[in-house]
Amino acid sequence: MSHSKDRIADAFQLARNQGRAAFIAYICGGDPDFETSVAVAIALLDAGVDILEIGVPFSDPLADGLTNQLAAQRALAGGMTHERLFALVRRIREKSDKPIILYAYYNLIFSQGVVAAIRRFKEAGVDGILTLDCPPEEAGELLAASRDAGLANIFIVAPTTPPERIARIARDATGFIYYVSREGVTGVRSDLASGIGAAVAAIKQHTTLPVAVGFGISTAAHVAAVGRVADGVVVGSALVNIIAAHTGEREKLPAELAAKVRALTGGAAG
């Protein structure tokens, strides 16, 4: 697989060419076990997911709601480690050239040595990282290591982020900007947050990067509504809930998740 091209930019461009938003799926790496996680990831990508976001299991996931906290617990209980995470990405890379983003907490990178960790992510086939608890102001070492390795740094903008801080975030972000449509933690919601279109427009005043929207998006109607105003739509907890519900019959998970993606996208993702 080629490591030289910008897979993230290509994925957003392909979606744009097809008149739709890119569909980004989140799963926790190693949930509920290594082999099932590999099969699930490949099934999601084959079903039309444009960008795969893999959560790095962590014992203290501050930004995650109960669904994703429990996913991290299952993965850790199933024996997930740093080494197995790299192996997971390599296995997915054997089957797919689509972008892979890691959703991580800074201590998981810092504890390995930032430069070494970033280099290993890149060598495994990762395209970008979203480090939840490392704001741009504190990210000098991470940004330098990522630039050297050719890894995108995705930063988060929240509903409460003031315009001057959006400008600061946009200055250092690469890959895309992730707009968190709600205050609080991840999780399925029955209603979509208000003001998403205006928020995306405000972010775009400061950057030419694509803007993807996540947190609380769980139905086909949500995906369609967000897709009309954003460049990308992120769905996580709605997929992770399916994994949680089928841990006793894991062989069914790849097909169940592929069907969910097709239902969420109306079969439009490709």
Cite the active site residues: 53, 64
Please tell me whether residue 192 adopts helix, strand or coil conformation: coil
d(CA 113, CA 190): 41
Rounded to 5°, angle at Cα 258 from 254 and 156? 105
Q: How far apart are CA 270 and CA 259, in angstroms?
A: 14
Nearest-angstrom CA–CA distance, 29 and 71: 9
**In the beta sheet, which residues pair with residue 130?**
103, 154
Any idea what DSSP says for residue 19?
T
Q: Largest Cα–Cα distance of the chain, in whole Å?
A: 49
Q: Residue 152: CA atoms inside 13 Å, Cβ hemisphere, count?
A: 29
What stretch of H or E contains 40? Answer: helix 34-46
What residue ranges in the chain does DSSP mark as E strands?
22-28, 51-55, 100-104, 128-131, 152-157, 177-180, 211-214, 232-235
Alpha-carbon distance 90 to 59, whole Å? 24
Task: With beta carbons less than 8 A apart as the criterion, state whether 207 and 175 touch.
Answer: no
Distance CA 202, CA 163 (A): 8
